[in-house]
Amino acid sequence: MEPRLTDRLRVVVILSVILSTGSGESDRDLKFCGTWRHSKTLLSLSVNLSPGCKGISISADENTLAINGQITAQCLRYEVIPLHQIGLDSEEEINFCLYWEPLLDQLKLQLGERNLTLCWPASLQGSCCTYLSDGPSQPEAPYGIINGMVRTDFITHKTRRAYNFSGAPVACNELCQEASHGPAQVNMIKGTAEDLCTRSFEVEMKEDFGGCNLTTPGSILTSEEPSTTVHLPPALKQAAKETSKVVCTFFKNNSLFQEGQKNVRILNDVVGISVENEVITDLPEPIRIGFHHEAIAKMHSRKCVSWDTRKDPLQVNWLVDGCVTLERGDQHTECHCNHLTYFSVLVQLEPRPVRHLLALTVITSVGCVVSAISCVALIIFLCKKSIRCKDQSTPIHLGLAVSLALLNLLFFFTGILANIGGESLCTWVGAGLHYALLSSFSWMAIEVFHTFWLVYMVFSPLPKGICKLWSMVGFGLPAVPIIILAAVGDIYGLREVVPSNDVSNPYVMCWMKATYKALLAHYFTNMTILVVLVSSGFVMLFLVYRKIHTRDEWKQSRVAFLSIWGLSCLYGTTWGLTFLDFGPLSDFVLFLSCILNSFQGFLLMLRFYMLEWMRKQAGGSAPGSNSTGSTRQNMLQPQEKS
C-alpha cells in the first residue's frame, strides 16, 4: 500500500507544480470578470486606489461594487460614483470586467455597457505590479459577485463577497526583456509589451530650446518603420513655467483608447504629450503630429482629436477642439494642436458627412413643394383630358405624376415625421418613401419605353389592354420588394445624415437604416433599378437617333425632337448623376443632382406645356390625337418612295 500512496502523492505534487506554473504565466496582467448581484437600490461604485504593490480587492454587497488596493505606479484615486449618473441603476444584475495593464499603469472597468478608465495610461514606469494571484476564497453570501473568472478560467458559480489578488513588484524593463523573448515567456495582451517598452521620450527643454522633432521608434521584435512624428515648438518652453521636462509617449494598442461607439474608431497610433503638474493650453505655435496609417477610403471622414478628461475623467471623450486636421493623402494625416494631452485620428466608419447639407436641404424642400404642386396640377389636367379623348399614353403620364407627387410629399415631411414620431413611425414612413421611389422609377421606365415604341416603331399602336399591365408594373411590382424587406425587418427606421460642419447635430429622416442589411437592400433595389433605367434610356435614344438622323425632317426639326426626347429621358438620367459624385466636381454634381431631381415634378409639367405649345404651333390636332404631339408625327412618318 505504501508504494501506491507514494506514487499518488507524487502525481499530486507534479500536478500542483504544473497548475501553479500555468497560473503564474496567465496572471502577468489581470482580466477579472463576474456578475454583480445587488439589491437594485442606491447602487454605487467605490474606487480607492493608491501606488504600491500589495494587491487589489474586488468586492461587492447589496449596494456597492468596490475596487480597492495598492497596485499602481503613480495613479491615485478615491471616488464614490452613484450608478444612476451613468445609467446603470435599473439593471437587476450587472456584468463587469476589470482590466489591469502593468506596463501602462492603466486600470479599466467595463461595467455593463460602460467603459470606465480608473487609471489613465502612462509612460513606462520603473516598477510594474504583476504576477497577480487569487487569494483565499471568501464565504458565500446572498449579495456579491457570482460567476467569477480570471481570463477564461472559471473560479466558482457561488456568490462571493470579494476576490483578492496579491501582486509582486517587478522592474518594468525586465518585463519588457521577457516579452522580447516571445509570447511563451510572458502571457500578455498581444502587442502591448513590445509596443510600449521603447515608446517613451523625456525631452529636456533648455534655455535655448528651439523646438524638437520626435519619431516613433522601431519595435523590439520587428524592424518597423516609424509611423508617427511629433514636432514640439519653441513656444512650449515659454508655456511650461514650473518645469523644463516634457514626456512624449507613443501608444500602439488602440483598444485602450477606443471610444466605445460603433460608428467611429481610433487609429492604431495614439500620442500622449504631457508636462508634469502643469496644464498647457492655447499655444501660440501648435504642436505638429504626423500619423502615417493604413489607407482610409474617401467615403470615410477623419479628424484629429484629443482626449478630454475634464468632462468625465472616468470615460474616454475624444474632442476636435484645439486641433486642425490636414489630410496629406489617404495614408497620412497631420494634426496641429494647441494643447497637451493624448492625440489620435478618429475615423468615421459610416459614410463621410455631407457638405453643404443646409443648402441642399433648403433646395430639396423648395423643389419638393414646387414639384408636388406641379404634379397635382398635372393630375387634374390629365384627368380632364382623359374624359375628352382616349389616349394610350395618358394613363402612363398620370401614373408617373401620381408616384412623383407621393414621393415629393413624403420626402418633404420625412424630417418632420422623424422628429415627431421617432423610430416606430419611421418604420412605416421609410417603407412608404421607398415604395414611392421604386414606383417613380418604374413609371419612368414605362415612359421611356412608351416613347421609344412610338418613335422607333413609327407610331404603331400598342396592344389593347396594355394600360392594366402598366398599372401592375408601375404600382404593383414595387410593392413586392417592400413587403419582402419589411418581413426581413431592421431595414426601415430613423436615419441620421451628418453635416460636415457640425457632426454633433445630424439631420434625422425616415429612410433605410445605416445597417449592413439596409445597405444590401439599397444596392439590390435602388441602385440596380437605377442602372437599368439610365442605361436603357441612353440605349433607346441611340437606336432612335440611328434610325431617323438621315431624314430631311430630322434636319428641320432636330431641336424639337431633342427637346421632347431629352425631357422624356430626363426622368431617369438625372438620377444617374449619383454615380458621378466624386473628384473635384463632386460638389457641382451634388447640387445639380439635387436641383434636377427635386424639381422633377415641375419638369414633368414643363414637358407637357412644351408638347401642348408645339401642337398648337403645328396647327392643332384632330380630336383623339395623342399627347406626344403632331410635330413628331409629321417629322417621323415614313418617307414616301419616289
Whole-angstrom Cα distance, residue 283 to residue 201? 21
Is the model's pTM score more than 0.75? no
- pLDDT score of 209: 83
Given pLDDT bands bounded at 50, 70 and 90, which one contains residue 534? confident
| Contact between 510 and 412 (Cβ < 8 Å) | no
Higher pLDDT pick, 450 / 53? 53
Residue 508 has pLDDT above 70, yes or no: yes
Lowest mean pLDDT among 168-172, 271-275, 345-349, 525-529: 345-349
**For residues 38-42, average pLDDT:** 84
Q: At 288, list the grid cell.
A: 505638429
**For residues 226-253, average pLDDT:** 80
Residue 411 has pLDDT above 90, yes or no: yes
**For residues 150-172, average pLDDT:** 87
| DSSP assignments along 462-507, one per residue | PPTTHHHHHHIIIIITTHHHHHHHHHH-SSEEEEEE-BTT-TTS-E
- pLDDT score of 316: 62
Given pLDDT bands bounded at 50, 70 and 90, which one contains residue 557? low
Given pLDDT bands bounded at 50, 70 and 90, which one contains residue 184? very low
Q: At 246, list the grid cell.
A: 516634457
Residue 188 has pLDDT above 50, yes or no: no
Given pLDDT bands bounded at 50, 70 and 90, which one contains residue 154? confident
Lowest mean pLDDT among 363-372, 547-556, 558-567, 568-577: 558-567
| Contact between 287 and 211 (Cβ < 8 Å) | no
Q: Residues 292-347: pLDDT tens digits?
A: 888 776 667 788 888 776 555 556 677 778 888 888 887 888 999 988 888 888 77
Contacts (Cβ under 8 Å, ≥6 apart) of 287 = 230, 231, 232, 233, 236, 273, 336, 337, 338, 340
CA 593 to centroid of chain Cα atoms: 24
Given pLDDT bands bounded at 50, 70 and 90, which one contains residue 370? very high
Of the ranges 73-82, 174-183, 239-248, the best mean pLDDT one: 73-82
Given pLDDT bands bounded at 50, 70 and 90, which one contains residue 146? very high
Report CA-CA distances (Å) from 578 to 339, 395, 509, 617: 41, 29, 19, 37
- 77-82 sheet: strands from edge to edge: 77-82, 44-51, 64-72, 55-60, 162-171, 127-134
DSSP 245: E
Whole-angstrom Cα distance, residue 370 to residue 596? 12
- pLDDT score of 189: 37
- pLDDT score of 271: 87
Residue 598 has pLDDT above 50, yes or no: yes
Whole-angstrom Cα distance, residue 280 to residue 339? 5
Angle between the N-to-C axes of helices 600-617 and 394-456, in degrees from 0 to 180, rounded to the nearest 10: 60
Higher pLDDT pick, 289 / 280? 289
Q: At 328, list the grid cell.
A: 496629406
Higher pLDDT pick, 641 / 468? 468
Which helix (H) or strand (E) segment holds residue 445: the answer is helix 394-456
Given pLDDT bands bounded at 50, 70 and 90, which one contains residue 512? very high
> Minimal CA–CA distance to 486: which of 410, 551, 428, 544?
428
- pLDDT score of 410: 94
- pLDDT score of 221: 34
Q: Residues 627-637: pLDDT tens digits?
A: 444 334 444 44
Q: Residues 206-237: pLDDT tens digits?
A: 878 888 888 875 443 344 455 788 998 888 88
Lowest mean pLDDT among 410-424, 429-443, 526-540: 526-540
* For the chain, percent of residues with pLDDT exceeding 70: 73
DSSP-based three-state secondary structure for 182: coil
Given pLDDT bands bounded at 50, 70 and 90, which one contains residue 84? confident
User: How many other CB atoms sit within 10 Å of the CB of residue 508?
Assistant: 17
Kindly calculate the radius of gyration of the chain based on its CA atoms and give it in whole angstroms: 35
Q: At 153, list the grid cell.
A: 478560467
Given CA atoms 502, 508, 512, 517 in this order, what sign does their dihedral have? Answer: positive
Q: At 578, list the grid cell.
A: 449619383
- pLDDT score of 314: 59
Given pLDDT bands bounded at 50, 70 and 90, which one contains residue 15? very low
Given pLDDT bands bounded at 50, 70 and 90, which one contains residue 554? low
- pLDDT score of 381: 86
| Contact between 315 and 117 (Cβ < 8 Å) | yes
Given pLDDT bands bounded at 50, 70 and 90, which one contains residue 409? very high
Whole-angstrom Cα distance, residue 344 to residue 251? 10
Which stretches within 498-599 are classed as H helix?
516-522, 528-548, 552-573, 586-598
Lowest mean pLDDT among 41-55, 84-98, 309-323, 333-347: 309-323
Given pLDDT bands bounded at 50, 70 and 90, which one contains residue 353? low
- pLDDT score of 348: 66
Given pLDDT bands bounded at 50, 70 and 90, which one contains residue 429? very high
Q: What is the mean pLDDT of the chain?
A: 76
Q: What is the dihedral of CA 583, 586, 587, 590, to 10 degrees?
A: -170
Q: At 159, list the grid cell.
A: 456568490
- pLDDT score of 21: 37
- pLDDT score of 621: 45
